């Protein structure tokens, strides 16, 4: 390293980024309702408390339903859009793709408010379904972006070769295209799931009386007594994220090893 | 060398036109490719040769005209049921499959038993010199091996026509020359019509029974390699195939049977009708190949005609030396090639030399 200052900067940056997350498990196991040093002892009480919270279970279940549905729907839509944008020419392509990608930069505040107005006007009751609609809207652009690069790197002659060897366009898609873009599909599912599970604004606006995880956690922070068990929940979520990312990385590396592609490094 | 004329037609092009929007990619292609022929589509990039190949495969539709395969009009026949298979420029080896799975891919709907299919795959692999490679991962192969897998995969379906889209362009020179010979042998062995697209004139000359030279969406000449080389139909073809010296000339008389010209630096020559392809409307030039000019050493005498010159450039190739020579006191420069054999020292720039040549080697373009 030629510049020691840069090295220091990098280390400080990483500490700044990850230290707060490390504090989560520390206080989750701390035997005190007050979130402060010095630590007062080890306990698993907060986890027990969290485990017994029926509302929390409900919120987790709702969030899981929403995140899985949104990820699957957005990724499916993304497959069509990415395929169309990378392989076909059609009128107003740039404009259409632009409109699909727009929600990525649109403030969620605007999306939630306008959707709320429309849904109420049309008379659709607020429920998990309306949250899913909102989440599909904001996650589809991410799915399209990830899948477009997966489809882009697909050599067109692979499809033509399969077609040439007697397959129909549909069986070509199933036998050749799908397996080769599978890492992209997995990435897209993961990203969409992640975005959906911790999304707050849309879930808050469009949820009606259905509470999801992010909204529930936000609500619990009003009660200082509940904070340690929320930290326990956070610890579990961090652990789950690490497990999930590890699985994704395993599949990514396996895919690379299988197709002999070049490892560009990094997750997803 | 010339291909048997009595073979049945495998491919027929009837006034094939192809437009991409306003762009006229194929401009009235006519011609036939015989059954069992090794045929090449040769031309610079953008001449429409790959487009023409893809109209045979069925990957490109045509705007007007007809493409016939084995007597059947292919209009409306999709690529997956045409009796053709293709070897792609990128080889298009399915990276998520083994070599064996790649080669056997086309047999998926084949009603034969699993064992019979496995045997067919093994035979196909043996045919291309990859015996025992069936279990390997496809992505772990070298360029030459991928090429062979692509060949085996296409040939296992026993197509009537094998289409090869610049299959050797990704290989290094040694490997390319090796594969050229292998492909010729393979074609003789299987007897299938091979249609090769290439921009490499040398490759086309080496491998083909007949060649169609294409420029700007049209076939400029369709002939066997020797005719193409010795009697190119247009100046463009002459320029594209090998090296050709062009010497400006004046046409003195044209009797229909013979034409008399005065070529700058070479003098008056009488040419027979077969040395004069149909007029193209270019300024008249006579063309002569480098090997039809010979440097005369010491007291050697020319068998036919002789001309003086001065060496302007010497290009040494080991087995050959190329000389650029100004013809007898003119600004006309010609290139000639001499084999480096004992008794023929490589001469220096500025040396005054005598060249032997023969009027029968000339071709007139006008």
| Residues A8-18 pLDDT 10s | 999 999 999 98
Residue ranges and CATH numbers for the domains of chain B are: 9-230 (3.40.50.300), 243-366 (2.40.50.140)
Q: Closest-CA residue in chain B for A168?
A: B80
- From chain A, pick out residues whose CB is under 8 angstroms from the CB of B89: 157
B204 has a pLDDT exceeding 60:
yes
Q: CA-CA distance, B232 to B274, in Å (whole number)?
A: 11
Identify whether A92 is part of a domain.
yes
Q: What is the mean pLDDT of residues B333-338?
A: 94
Measure the CA angle with vertex A227, ends A225 and A232; round to 5°: 125
Q: CA-CA distance, A200 to A188, in Å (whole number)?
A: 20
Closest partner CB to B80 (pick from A158, A168, A179)? A168
Q: Closest-CA residue in chain A for B155?
A: A165
- pLDDT above 70 as % of chain B: 99
Measure the CA angle with vertex B73, ends B72 and B75; round to 5°: 145
In A39-177, which ranges are continuous DSSP H helix? 45-51, 54-87, 93-101, 108-122, 128-152, 156-164, 169-172
Query: Does the distance separating the beta carbons of A165 and B94 come in below 8 Å?
Result: no
- Predicted local confidence at residue A261, as pLDDT: 66
Mean pLDDT computed over every residue of chain B: 91
- Predicted local confidence at residue B208, as pLDDT: 95
Establish if B252 touches chain A: CB-CB under 8 angstroms: no
C-alpha separations of B138 from B129, B130, B145, B252 in Å: 15, 12, 9, 65
Mean pLDDT computed over every residue of chain A: 87
Tokens of residue B270, six digits: 């009488």
**Whether residue A38 has a cis bond before it, omega within 30° of 0:** yes
- Predicted local confidence at residue A265, as pLDDT: 54
Instruction: State the ipTM, two decimals.
Output: 0.82
Establish if A165 touches chain B: CB-CB under 8 angstroms: yes
Percentage helix, strand, coil for chain A under 3-state DSSP, each rounded to 5 = 75, 0, 20
- pLDDT above 70 as % of chain A: 96
Query: Does the distance separating the beta carbons of B85 and A164 come in below 8 Å?
Result: yes
- Predicted local confidence at residue B1, as pLDDT: 45
- From chain A, pick out residues whose CB is under 8 angstroms from the CB of B161: none
CA distance B252 to chain A (A): 55
Residue-range definition of the domain harbouring residue A93? 55-214
Q: CA-CA distance, A204 to A200, in Å (whole number)?
A: 6
CA distance A259 to chain B (A): 5
How sure is the predictor about A223, in pLDDT bands with cuts at 50, 70 and 90? Answer: confident
Which one of A87, A153, A156, A164 makes the best mutation probe of the B interface by having the most chain B beta carbons within 10 Å?
A164
Q: Which residue has the higher pLDDT, A125 or A254?
A: A125
- Predicted local confidence at residue B171, as pLDDT: 84
Q: CA-CA distance, B29 to B45, in Å (whole number)?
A: 17
- Predicted local confidence at residue B4, as pLDDT: 58
* Total domains present in chain A: 1
pTM value > 0.90: no
- Predicted local confidence at residue A54, as pLDDT: 85
Identify whether A35 is part of a domain.
no
Give every CB contact of residue A249 below 8 A, 6+ residues apart in sequence. A267
Query: Does the distance separating the beta carbons of A165 and B157 come in below 8 Å?
Result: yes
Identify whether A265 is part of a domain.
no
Query: Does the distance separating the beta carbons of B108 and A166 come in below 8 Å?
Result: yes
CA distance A161 to chain B (A): 6
Which one of B20, B89, B91, B95 makes the best mutation probe of the A interface by having the most chain A beta carbons within 10 Å?
B95
Q: What is the mean pLDDT of residues B140-168?
A: 91
Using alpha carbons, select from A153, A257, A158, A155 the residue that is nearest to residue B105. A158
- Check which CATH number belongs to the domain holding A156 and give it: 1.10.3720.10
Q: Closest-CA residue in chain A for B158?
A: A165
Identify whether A37 is part of a domain.
no
Q: What is the mean pLDDT of residues B160-180?
A: 90
Q: What is the mean pLDDT of residues B81-108?
A: 93
- From chain B, pick out residues whose CB is under 8 angstroms from the CB of A260: 95, 137-140
Closest partner CB to A157 (pick from B79, B90, B96)? B90
How sure is the predictor about A259, in pLDDT bands with cuts at 50, 70 and 90? Answer: low
Query: Which tens digit of pLDDT belongs to each residue from B28-38?
Result: 999 999 999 99
Beta-carbon pairs below 8 A across chains A and B: 66
Identify whether A197 is part of a domain.
yes
How many CB atoms are closer than 10 A to CB A119?
Answer: 19
Return the minimum-mean-pLDDT range out of A43-47, A209-213, B256-260. Answer: A43-47
Give every CB contact of residue B267 below 8 A, 6+ residues apart in sequence. B305, B307
């Amino acid at each position: 390293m030629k510049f020691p200052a840069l090295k220091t900067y990098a280390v400080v940056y990483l500490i700044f980024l990850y230290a707060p997350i490390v504090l989560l498990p520390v206080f989750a196991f701390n035997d005190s309702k007050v979130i402060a040093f010095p630590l007062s002892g080890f306990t698993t009480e907060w986890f027990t408390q969290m485990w017994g919270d029926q509302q929390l279970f409900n919120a987790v279940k709702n969030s899981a339903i929403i995140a899985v549905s949104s990820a699957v729907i957005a990724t499916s839509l993304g497959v069509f859009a990415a395929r169309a944008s990378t392989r076909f020419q059609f009128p107003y392509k740039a404009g259409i793709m632009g409109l699909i990608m727009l929600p990525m930069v649109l403030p969620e505040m605007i999306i939630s408010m306008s959707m709320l107005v429309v849904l109420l006007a049309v008379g659709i009751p607020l429920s998990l379904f309306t949250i899913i609609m909102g989440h599909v809207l904001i996650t589809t652009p991410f799915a399209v972006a990830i899948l477009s690069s997966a489809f882009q790197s697909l050599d067109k002659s692979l499809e033509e070769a399969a077609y040439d060897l007697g397959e129909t366009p549909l069986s070509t898609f199933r036998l050749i295209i799908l397996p080769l873009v599978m890492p992209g599909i997995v990435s897209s599912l993961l990203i969409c799931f992640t975005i959906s599970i911790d999304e707050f604004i849309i879930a808050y606006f469009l949820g009606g009386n259905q509470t999801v995880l992010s909204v529930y956690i936000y609500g619990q922070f009003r009660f200082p007594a509940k904070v340690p068990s929320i930290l326990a929940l956070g610890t579990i979520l961090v652990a789950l994220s690490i497990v999930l990312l590890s699985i994704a990385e395993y599949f990514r590396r396996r895919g690379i090893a299988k197709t002999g592609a070049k490892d560009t490094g990094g997750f997803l | 060398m010339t291909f048997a004329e009595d073979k049945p037609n495998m491919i027929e092009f009837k006034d094939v036109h192809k437009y991409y929007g306003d762009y006229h990619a194929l401009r009235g292609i006519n011609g036939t490719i015989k059954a069992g022929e090794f045929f090449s589509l040769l031309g610079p990039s953008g001449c429409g040769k790959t487009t023409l190949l893809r109209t045979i495969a069925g990957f490109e539709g045509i705007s007007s005209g007809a493409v016939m395969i084995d007597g059947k009009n292919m209009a409306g026949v999709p690529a997956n049921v045409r009796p053709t298979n293709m070897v792609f420029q990128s080889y298009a080896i399915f990276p998520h499959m083994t070599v064996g799975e790649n080669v056997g891919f086309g047999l998926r709907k084949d009603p034969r038993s699993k064992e019979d299919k496995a045997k067919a795959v093994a035979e196909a692999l043996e045919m291309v010199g990859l015996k025992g490679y069936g279990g390997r991962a496809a992505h772990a192969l070298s360029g030459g091996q991928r090429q062979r897998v692509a060949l085996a995969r296409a040939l296992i379906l026993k197509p009537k026509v094998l289409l090869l889209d610049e299959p050797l362009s990704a290989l290094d020179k040694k490997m390319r020359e090796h594969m050229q010979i292998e492909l010729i042998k393979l074609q003789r062995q299987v007897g299938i019509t091979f249609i090769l697209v290439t921009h490499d004139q040398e490759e086309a000359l080496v491998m083909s029974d007949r060649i169609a030279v294409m420029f700007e969406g049209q076939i400029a000449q369709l002939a066997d390699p020797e005719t193409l080389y010795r009697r190119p139909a247009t100046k463009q073809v002459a320029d594209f195939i090998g090296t050709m010296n062009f010497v400006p000339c004046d046409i003195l008389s044209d009797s229909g049977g013979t034409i008399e010209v005065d070529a700058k630096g070479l003098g008056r020559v009488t040419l027979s009708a077969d040395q004069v392809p149909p007029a193209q409307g270019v300024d008249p030039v006579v063309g002569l190949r480098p090997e039809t000019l010979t440097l005369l050493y010491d007291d050697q005498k020319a068998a036919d005609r002789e001309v003086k010159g001065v060496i302007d450039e010497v290009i040494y190739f080991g087995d050959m030396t190329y000389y650029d020579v100004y013809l007898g006191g003119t600004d006309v420069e010609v290139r000639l090639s001499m084999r480096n054999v004992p008794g023929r020292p490589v001469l220096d720039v500025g040396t005054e030399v005598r060249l032997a040549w023969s009027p029968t080697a000339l071709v007139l373009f006008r």
